[in-house]
Amino acid sequence: MKIISSVAELRDQLRGQLRTAFVPTMGNLHEGHLSLMRLARKHGDPVVASIFVNRLQFGPSEDFDKYPRTFADDIEKLEKEGVYVLFAPTEKDIYPEPQEFRIQPPSDLGNMLEGEFRPGFFTGVTTIVMKLFSCVQPRVAVFGKKDYQQLMIIRNMARQFALPTEIIAAETWRAEDGLALSSRNGYLSEAERADAPALYRELNLVADAVRSGQRDVAQLSEAAMARLAAYGWQPDYVAVRKRVDLQSPSAADLEAGEPLVVLAAAKLGKTRLIDNLEI
């Protein structure tokens, strides 16, 4: 595996490659990330991964400085997966000058749910993804469904800008107790880790209620948030939305069987976890 930090060197290395499959990450890799590498290989060759902790998507009170960085372990894992190139730029490589041009997602999608509780997050995400796409020029790129709203925004961005990159969605990888794998799970204490699967259980309770014919999705969401709070969590949202655009479903949508997804974000101690479940 070649480890490259320079944009110019990366372009030289990939020149002439027409089927590149790309997996962008912020490192601290776990089995969920590695499953993305395997899926990428099914859709293209060579597989290129990136590791870059993107300052633009962190708010002033968020965890940029303490975000887990495990570069040596990450290299070993990627080599075992047969990744061809690891693009690991420094901040100077990726932002040689202040990034004054930014991508701004539409407010009806970018300012709800995660965007409401993390202002500017999706601007930072879409800006770095667009820049990485420009550097790697992949035919396909793989993103996990755990970040459901992010996946939708990136897919819409690629379509509206007519990017020559197909966005592939990968299913969420879970631990045996249902907890969605996340780099931030490492922040959990032993007791918190034991309590963490409660978030996925609440998603299932809401999904099961909707499948059984309950139509007051707002009430279902409020009840799930109340239960999480009673368990000692600090919920930001539990929301049932339409898969197509993440807008709230109307009564007619519910009666017609519109495909739905229930999404949630909540803090357990100091760790903020997100998850979702398609209905």
Of the listed ranges 66-70, 74-78, 149-153, 250-254, the one predicted with least confidence: 66-70
The answer on pLDDT for 63 being more than 90 is no
Mapping DSSP to helix (H, G, I), strand (E, B) and coil, where does residue 263 land? strand
On whether the CB atoms of residues 243 and 259 are closer than 8 A, the answer is yes
Q: In the prediction, which pLDDT does 209 show? A: 98
Q: How far apart are CA 136 and CA 10, in angstroms?
A: 7
Active site residues: 33
Region 18-39: mean pLDDT is 97
Q: In the prediction, which pLDDT does 267 show? A: 97
On whether the CB atoms of residues 84 and 17 are closer than 8 A, the answer is no
Question: 200 falls in which pLDDT band (50, 70, 90)?
Answer: very high
Alpha helices, DSSP H, located in 44-168: 71-80, 91-94, 107-110, 114-117, 121-136, 148-160
Q: In the prediction, which pLDDT does 123 show? A: 98
The answer on pLDDT for 251 being more than 90 is yes
Q: In this predicted model, what pLDDT tens digit does every residue of 163-176 receive, in sequence order?
A: 999 999 999 999 99
Region 235-255: mean pLDDT is 97
Question: 150 falls in which pLDDT band (50, 70, 90)?
Answer: very high
On whether the CB atoms of residues 232 and 199 are closer than 8 A, the answer is no
N residues, the chain: 279
- State the chain's mean pLDDT as an integer: 97
Q: At what angle do helices 7-14 and 121-136 cross, to 10 degrees?
A: 50
Q: In the prediction, which pLDDT does 66 show? A: 85
The DSSP output letter for 32 is H
The answer on pLDDT for 61 being more than 90 is no
* Residue partners of 60: CB distance under 8 A and separation at least 6: none
In the sheet that holds 234-242, the strands lie side by side as 234-242, 260-268, 271-278
Q: What is the DSSP string of 138-191?
A: -SEEEEETTSHHHHHHHHHHHHHTT-S-EEEEEPPPB-TTSPBP-GGGGGS-HH
Place of tokens 């059984």: 212
Q: How far apart are CA 50 and CA 90, in angstroms?
A: 11
Higher-confidence position of 65 and 7:
7
Q: In this predicted model, what pLDDT tens digit does every residue of 72-122 receive, in sequence order?
A: 999 999 999 999 999 999 999 999 999 999 999 999 999 999 999 999 999
